[in-house]
Structure 1
């Protein structure tokens, strides 16, 4: 929230290929959202080049100020067509990279590195509910109940997410989260309610 724009470098490591790069932002539900503007939204990227996308905050402080808000940044790379192969049958794939984009208000009381340890758990019939009392999204990974590996979960701020819990799952809950730098936090013990 304190920054009005951030930058993301896009690199083409293939020296022979040119790509058309298209970028846009979607809200948490997957609908295109104009509250963040990406420039340039469309450009051609030559081989062995790097370009910078600017993500501009156009929210005008209209988002919640007590918690993070999730968006998805999409970057589509469309390969150019080799003109010498126009008469042949070819299959070309466009690759879309989806990256979590969080709007984080400037004055949240809890430091983000303390959020993971606040996560709570509640067992139900065939489910384990993850309860997040913090203002941050928590990406929970390496979630285990005893020796059973459970699905990863994205737990919204001040919200809950549920994962399937096998009947033979152990009592001890352990987990890790992904921090602001994309690294895994140390393994933690889960407290059940």
Structure 2
């Protein structure tokens, strides 16, 4: 009589250590799991958008949990993600479908939310009694809801920014209808933290040492790539 072979069933640990990571390269990674983009552009009025998710691990299953948060970090009730919870096997790909079901949003500028995807690795039952630390990692990427009839394309937004300095601070004004993310942000030789300027708004950042100098930065385009360095003045 032949013995039946059974695939070992994964066990999902109840207690995990969570580490939040913000993807800045070709994809946002969480353990062996990677999102297919570092930002999502959701055309306002569309029924849904899709985002691929892959498991590059050779032998690990992951339990994936995804949700959308408001800018304050609270879970938003205005989105439905399917599937919200699923297991992805080694060397496999799945697709997250994101649907906005909330009230009307401004039609003259973008709105921003944050897509969260948590990857929890499986463990063998035989290892549960040992001193093994299982780490669940969490990727967070920006989700922009973009009205369809904005007067200018997003690629033009960085060139509309103006800057002024004073009192050891720099203020960046954004008259465009788009969020603009600033990286490699410098005033003279002082590096400033990566920042994001809201549409039709301004952002003031303290300059280390209070020094003055030329203001320069790169921005992040719709594909997650850095644009060429540009200088900013009033």
For this structure pair, what is the TM-score category when the shorter chain's length is used for normalisation? over 0.9
Pairwise CA distance, 1:91:
0.8
Pick the aligned partner of 1:18 from 53, 57, 61. 61
Could you tell me how far apart the structure 2 residues matched to 1:59 and 1:136 are?
20
TM-score w.r.t. structure 1 length?
0.93
Please, what is the CA RMSD of the aligned residues? 1.4
Q: Tell me what 1:88 maps to.
A: 130
Structure 1 residue ranges, 4+ long, deviating more than 6 angstroms after superposition? none
Select which of 139, 149, 154 maps to 2:196.
Answer: 154
Counterpart contact for 2:80–2:99, Cα < 8 Å: yes
1:92-111 matched pairs, under 5 angstroms: 92-111=134-153
Q: CA deviation at 1:111?
A: 1.1
Aligned position for 2:32: none
Higher relative contact order (CA 8 A, sep 6+): 2
Which whole-Å CA distance do the structure 1 matches of 2:214 and 2:89 have between them?
52
Matched positions, count: 191
Q: Secondary structure, in 3 states, of the residue corresponding to 2:163? A: strand
Question: Residue 140 in 1 paired to residue 182 in 2?
Answer: yes
In the other structure, the counterpart of 2:78 is 35
How far apart, in 2, do the equivalents of 1:168 and 1:37 lie? 45
Indicate conservation of the 8 Å contact 1:147/1:170, yes or no. no
